Each structure stands twice: as structure tokens, then as C-alpha cells.
Amino acid sequence: MTIPRARQLAGALLLLVVGATTMALRARSAPAAALTLTSPVRHTAAAPIRVLLYHDMEGLAGQDDWRTFLFSHPEKYPEGQKMLAADLNAVIDGLFAGGATQVDVVDAHGSGNPEPDVRRDLLDPRAKQVFRDKPFDPYVDITEPNAYDAVAYSWGRVGVPVIFVSGDDRLQGDLAVMPWIEFVVTKKATSASTVELRPVDAVHAEMREKAARAVRNISKAKVMTVATPMQAGLHAVPPASLAALKGIPGITYADQTVTFTAPDFRAAYDGVIALVGAARASYANVLQETIRKRPDGKQILAEYSDALFMRWMDYESGRWQPPATPVQTGKTFHGDR
């Protein structure tokens, strides 16, 4: 299965988006045997139906401005928060209408906001937000058996299916491998930063309808698991780059793509996230380009070069030590990546 490339306005509810990259997980076995599809445990009429709802912010109904999903743009971000809550509430309403007895919401976006991207005062009061007493990755750290009956892809490891996704038309094509998913197209992607919007009211009505149907049809959904060991890979696109990793033992590098063998999903995920960090190291090139355009850019870059050199010298000489990580007490974490 390929987890789709991040598109500025094309994210989704229930979707993993990783910077400006494409993340792929594929088994070492033949393609036909790489993915296993099984039916979820059947529910009796009286059994509770617990749904975990992941949200991103790039695929929202009515959204055509990338600044609405970045906390660093306070002039636009609050608009995005309202759009996010409106989408979530439409889905939540549909999930309950379809028979869900519990809906939990986890923040999987990572806007830079130290608080959850969805405001509690705007969220349907029937839904509960997921908080922990220590930092956690929403895609792997909360995955456990018998906690939910329908959630996102990583949960296939514990027998739980994906049942609903919303996002742009490109995402719909990416998820064709899971045809049982109830998918709502929020917009048509015309480029990485432009879209053709659908009427918001129509999108929300469809979200309610399909979320309800997704719950009613849980028994028809499939649980997707990936054969292990698996090949995990990351493809970087500018301004990200993986070229610096060429030649490192244990990985395969070709055309800005790094692949490696992982024993299981968690190891593959952790390895890919580490590669994302490596790919982002090249972002400094854009910073330097920006600084060079300033009248004092040459001087700033010279000072930066000297500061790097002196930091190295000071550390080797024992004059500087990395600051200790502050101990956080009394804080809750919401999974924002």
C-alpha cells in the first residue's frame, strides 16, 4: 500500500500525511501476497461500536488557502480551525446516526499549535478528544487490540478496518486499493496548491450520509494487513532531499528514494519517520536562498558559518553542552505531529 504524497490542499480525515514526501510500505513477498484482507469481527445488534476519528487539515471542505492549516499564519489559521470542526462534526453526526456508540477524535495534523487543532468549543460534545500524559505518535503509539472497531490504516495490525475517508479526488484514486471505504470528495485538486471547491453544504451532507453508512456496513469492510518482513521506503521531493544518504550501508538509494527492510509495521514506520527528518535537513537551502536576497544576507550567512564553527570548537573544548531537555509535568498531549 502506498500512503499518498502530501498535497498542500489535499489532505484528509483518516489519512497520514508526511511533509513533502511519499511514504510507501510494501512486503518483500510477491505483490499478490503483500496485502492480506480479512473481515472484521462481526458485531451483534447490541454490541457497542467504537470509532476513532483521525483528522488532518489539508483536505477540508471549502478550503483553498494553504495558510489555513498552519499555526504560523494567525490571520488565516482560525478559519481553518472552523472548517476542521465543521467537517469533523458532520462526520461525527453521521457516525452516531449510523449506530456508533463512541467516537474519539485524535489530532494527526501537526500545524505547530501547542494545543489541538480542533477547538473543544467547536467540536460536537458527544465526541471525546484523545489525550495522554506523555507524548505519543497518533499513528502507532495508541494502536491496541479491542480498543476500537473502526479507525485508520495502522490499526489493521490489530484487526480493525478503515471505513471512512474524506479528501480530494486524487486521494480517492490513491485509496482505490480499499474499495469498501466510504469516501467523500471535498474538492478537485488542480495543482499542489490550487483546487476546485465543491459546495460546502453538499460535502457536509454527503459526509453525514456516508459516515452513517460506513458504520452500518462495518461487517462488509476489510481489515488490511501487510506481510512481514516488509520493504519500507521514502521518496523525497524538493525542497526535501535524501541524496546525502547515498552510499550508507543497509539502505538502497535511487533517484531521491530510500528503501530498507523492516521486520514489522512499527519498525518500518519509525524508519520512515527518521528518513523524513533526514530529508528535511535540506530545507536549510531554502533558508539560505531567502537570506541571500536580503541586503545584509552575505553578512548574516558569514556570521552563521562562524557560529557553526565555534559551536563545534566549544563543544570539543568542553565550553558548551547541549541544554537538558526540560521535564514536563502536569501536561497532557494530544498527538499533534
pLDDT of residue 7: 38
Q: Quick check: helix, strand or coil at residue 183?
A: strand
pLDDT of residue 328: 72
Q: pLDDT per position in the chain (337 positions), as tens?
A: 233 333 344 444 443 222 222 333 333 333 445 788 998 876 666 789 999 999 999 999 999 999 999 999 999 999 999 999 999 999 999 999 999 999 999 999 989 999 999 999 999 999 999 999 999 999 999 999 999 999 987 899 999 999 999 999 999 999 998 999 999 999 999 998 999 999 999 999 999 999 999 999 999 999 998 889 999 999 999 999 999 999 999 999 999 999 999 999 999 999 999 999 999 999 999 999 999 999 999 999 999 999 999 999 999 999 999 999 887 777 789 987 6
Q: What is the pTM of this model?
A: 0.88
**For residue 282, what is the DSSP state?**
G
List domains and CATH numbers for the chain: 2-225 (3.40.50.10780), 239-316 (no CATH)
Q: How many residues does the chain have?
A: 337
Task: State the angle between helix axes of 200-216 and 77-97 in degrees (0 to 180), rounded to the nearest 10.
Answer: 40
Q: Quick check: helix, strand or coil at residue 289?
A: helix
pLDDT of residue 25: 38
Q: Which amino acid is at 186?
A: T
Q: Quick check: helix, strand or coil at residue 36?
A: strand
What distance in Å separates the CA atoms of residue 82 and residue 88, rounded to the nearest whole number? 10
What distance in Å separates the CA atoms of residue 178 and residue 223, rounded to the nearest whole number? 9
Contact 224, 36 (CB under 8 A): yes
pLDDT of residue 33: 54
Q: Quick check: helix, strand or coil at residue 21?
A: strand
pLDDT of residue 276: 95
pLDDT of residue 234: 96
Q: Which residues of 76-91 are buried (b: 16+ CB within 10 A; e: fewer)?
A: ebebbbebbbbbbbbb
Contact 4, 15 (CB under 8 A): yes
